[in-house]
Structure 1
């Protein structure tokens, strides 16, 4: 897909609660020079603000949205991106299961290229995922600007929750003809459960799943690296 607009580089990354090699994690992200990083499994407990800021700083970025109110989902940006609004969502709790949520940031890049970044991490429970996907999809549909939606969906293309979130959006892997790139797990890559979807008005320039010795040390998921063109307001 090609087009005109303002360039934006986005990384989506499940960082596995920073339980792996954090120096490798920081090196991986910094080397990509991203404008936006959407994090799953970020800080969500004691001193989460401080820990989220430290994670962002290790990437050379700042926190735009998320943290505990979004249950570990974070949107991080560089100083080229102006954040005009932020909000969080918690999905309804099923007793005895993990809390899940989503983070949203309304942004501007360049003079007038506006977009909404959304990040989420759906449940591992197949009974919970469809309802969470529907709530996430409703939020995406209500976003004020063209959306960039990054998520660990915990299921693969064609499955129910994946179809719900993807409805009306462009799967950046498919657009770049790289849907064969697997994202999980780093130890034994067998599944594509991490995705980045965009509004059709946003052009996909490039897409990659970063499978390197460094990314295999940094987390149990590979990061997605996507180059986009954001349409400028007329």
Structure 2
């Protein structure tokens, strides 16, 4: 199926025919506590290669629930769930997954456990890494979690795509830690960095982010605000079309 990549909105990177296009969503699905039919319709309509999910199933029968979510969205589970504390990577059959692992951040008593999920993937001649995380709402916890996530990202050798709910606006300390050395996909497209992602009913914050390795070109970026996405979750999904180096 053709994805209709919106290359006209940014300068063409000129990487040649050997580069590979990838459509990525980063989406906090709010524990599927909203309209799951609208969620499925919205995601299927965007036809992603990868969905980096926050607030995915992480408790009783989490494997079955993650598989059911993937099936509803027309994708397959690559990694995550309980071992990543609700972070989940879903892919289309176009994406080959070679290696996956999960990370759990130290628990602060009385707070929610948080973590991250990682995968090494490929499409044709292009190899890349995926990462997803959901940082704490507690401003005393976030910096340490961001530092642990950044340490894991720094160890990667493949070009990486990172989707995260950082629970703070751009410019915050945890945001700057994760973003260091990476490209904020929103900043590439005119007006992208001013598009709020949360909450859907009265958007006022950009706490959801998609960062990419400098070796990856951002062709298009959008915060998808539609009737469906307003019913599907309390966060808007981020969609980006990327060009991977071969």
Pick the TM interval, shorter chain. over 0.9
Distance 1:55 1:77 in 2: 12
Distance 1:209 1:120 in 2: 18
Q: Structure 2 residue aligned with 1:70, among 84, 94, 105?
A: 84
Tell me the SS of whatever aligns to 1:26. helix
Q: Structure 1 residue aligned with 2:242, among 223, 228, 232?
A: 228
Using the TM superposition, give the Cα deviation of residue 19 of structure 1 relative to its aligned residue in structure 2, in angstroms: 0.1
Tell me the SS of whatever aligns to 1:155. coil
| 1:191 is the counterpart of 2:191 | no
Distance 1:196 1:96 in 2: 29
Aligned positions, number: 231
Alignment of 1:1-234 (within 5 A): 2-3=12-13, 4=15, 5-110=19-124, 112-177=125-190, 178-232=192-246
CA RMSD of aligned residues (A): 0.7
Distance 1:64 1:42 in 2: 13
Tell me the SS of whatever aligns to 1:87. strand
Please report the TM-score for the alignment, with normalisation by the length of structure 2: 0.93
Distance 2:107 2:139 in 1: 14
Using the TM superposition, give the Cα deviation of residue 2 of structure 1 relative to its aligned residue in structure 2, in angstroms: 3.6
Tell me the SS of whatever aligns to 2:163. strand
1:134-191 per-residue CA deviation (whole Å, 9 max, x = no partner) reads: 0001111111311100000000111000000000000000011211110000011000
Distance 1:58 1:143 in 2: 31
Unaligned ranges ≥5, structure 1: none
Distance 1:100 1:59 in 2: 24
Distance 1:184 1:99 in 2: 22
Tell me the SS of whatever aligns to 1:179. helix
Distance 2:170 2:50 in 1: 24
1:62-97 per-residue CA deviation (whole Å, 9 max, x = no partner) reads: 000100000000000000000000000000000010
CA contact (8 A) 1:2 1:204 kept: no
